[in-house]
Amino acid sequence: MRLLPIIAISTAVLTSAASASGFPVTIQSCDREVTFEAAPTRAISNDVNLTEMMLALGLNESMAGYTGVSDWKTLDAQLREGIGQLPELSNNYPTKEVLLGADADFYFAGWNYGMRVGGEVTPETLGEFGIKVYELTESCIHVMTKPKASIDDMYADLLNLGRIFGVEEKAQALVDGYKQELADFTASLPAIADEVTVFVYDSGEAKPFTAGRYAMPSALIEAAGGVNIMDDVDSSWVEIGWEPVIERNPDVIVIVDYGSVTAGEKADFMRNNPAFKDIPAVQNDRFVVLPYVEATPGPRNIGAIKALAAAFRD
């Protein structure tokens, strides 16, 4: 019997092949560096805004499913077409078992967007099973020091996803398009004569849940020409008291629309409470509604800036 020769493949050849495909790539994820030897093929995203980032980059074929997208946080109609038959694996934060059961090799989530500090699903706990994690940039404030929220946080996530999945050119084109759209819109805006102060009302009656300087609404408000009255609060999404809201007299109240309490009910709560009767936003009925998916980092942030800018000049 004739033995076939053994063909040895050198390390140099393998390295050359990997380089030609753009891999390996090393990505900064909050305070960690994560190296990808190849693009994930069984990715899972949590929450509607993160899932829309994946779909905006056309990554549905690299996904095993998504989590945390319930009836009250709906996908954009256009992007929903791209999700095809991908399953929602959990309507809330997924457990480790859900991710393992889906044979996931990648999890796109954030702190308080599918992961909790000290919880069972973290980059460390998933790393034991070969599941790599990329963390939403806005959420990094929960595990490290970072600058205040910026629209650049959303751009950074899209560009990093582009590198992780080998679609860097597409990601760059998408970000460049958003930047140009925003620049063209901003250039056409009339100036605001007086500073517009804004309060973000997410939820809560006894105490309001709102956006501090590290939450995306603060960046959206600033880009639209306003000032978040809680921009000096060194936190992301946070519960505060009503006293500082009353003291700071916001001109506009932005209501985040989601959950069982409707935006109209939130506005009525403020309109009908005597404690708020002297707040200019209440007196002048200046309420602006932003759907949850527009108020959190994702492709719809550009539209949110446009809506806010129009309201601030109304």
Contact 36, 24 (CB under 8 A): yes
**Res 209: pLDDT:** 97
Is the domain of 28 the same as that of 124? yes
Is the domain of 122 the same as that of 139? yes
Task: Specify the pTM.
Answer: 0.91
268 domain-assigned: yes
Which of residues 183, 201, 219 is at a domain's end? Answer: 183
Is the domain of 266 the same as that of 216? yes
pLDDT band at 93 (very low <50, low <70, confident <90, very high): very high
Pairing relation of β-strands 132-135 and 106-111? parallel
Is the domain of 208 the same as that of 176? no
**Res 77: pLDDT:** 73
Which of residues 183, 213, 240 is at a domain's end? Answer: 183
Is the domain of 166 the same as that of 34? yes
Instruction: Render pLDDT for 256-291 as a digit per residue (tens, 0 to 9).
Output: 999 889 999 999 999 999 999 999 999 999 999 999
Pairing relation of β-strands 196-201 and 287-291? unpaired
**Would the pLDDT of 105 be above 90?**
yes
Residue 281 pairs with which residues in a beta bridge? none
pLDDT band at 71 (very low <50, low <70, confident <90, very high): low
The stretch 67-86 carries a mean pLDDT of: 76
Contact 135, 127 (CB under 8 A): no
Distance between CA 192 and CA 226 in Å, rounded?
A: 9
The stretch 290-310 carries a mean pLDDT of: 96
Weakest mean pLDDT among 1-5, 30-34, 176-180, 231-235 = 1-5
31 domain-assigned: yes
Range of the structural domain that residue 120 is part of: 20-183
Is the domain of 174 the same as that of 224? no
**Res 213: pLDDT:** 97
Is the domain of 197 the same as that of 178? no
Weakest mean pLDDT among 34-43, 72-81, 138-147, 214-223 = 72-81
Contact 108, 43 (CB under 8 A): yes
Token pair, residue 193, equals: 């004569």
Token pair, residue 242, equals: 């009503």
15 domain-assigned: no
Which of residues 153, 183, 213 is at a domain's end? Answer: 183
Instruction: Render pLDDT for 160-208 as a digit per residue (tens, 0 to 9).
Output: 999 999 999 999 999 999 999 999 999 998 888 889 999 999 999 999 9
**Res 278: pLDDT:** 97
Q: Looking at the 3D structure of the chain, how many domains does it have? A: 2
**Res 78: pLDDT:** 66
The stretch 206-220 carries a mean pLDDT of: 98
Is the domain of 49 the same as that of 179? yes
Mean pLDDT of the chain: 92
Distance between CA 165 and CA 167 in Å, rounded?
A: 6
8 domain-assigned: no
Q: Report cis status (omega within 30 of 0) of the bond before 24.
A: yes
Distance between CA 84 and CA 181 in Å, rounded?
A: 28
Is the domain of 111 the same as that of 198? no
Is the domain of 207 the same as that of 171? no
Is the domain of 201 the same as that of 178? no
3-state secondary structure of 77: helix
242 domain-assigned: yes
Residue 72 is part of a domain; what is its CATH number? 3.40.50.1980
Is the domain of 271 the same as that of 304? yes
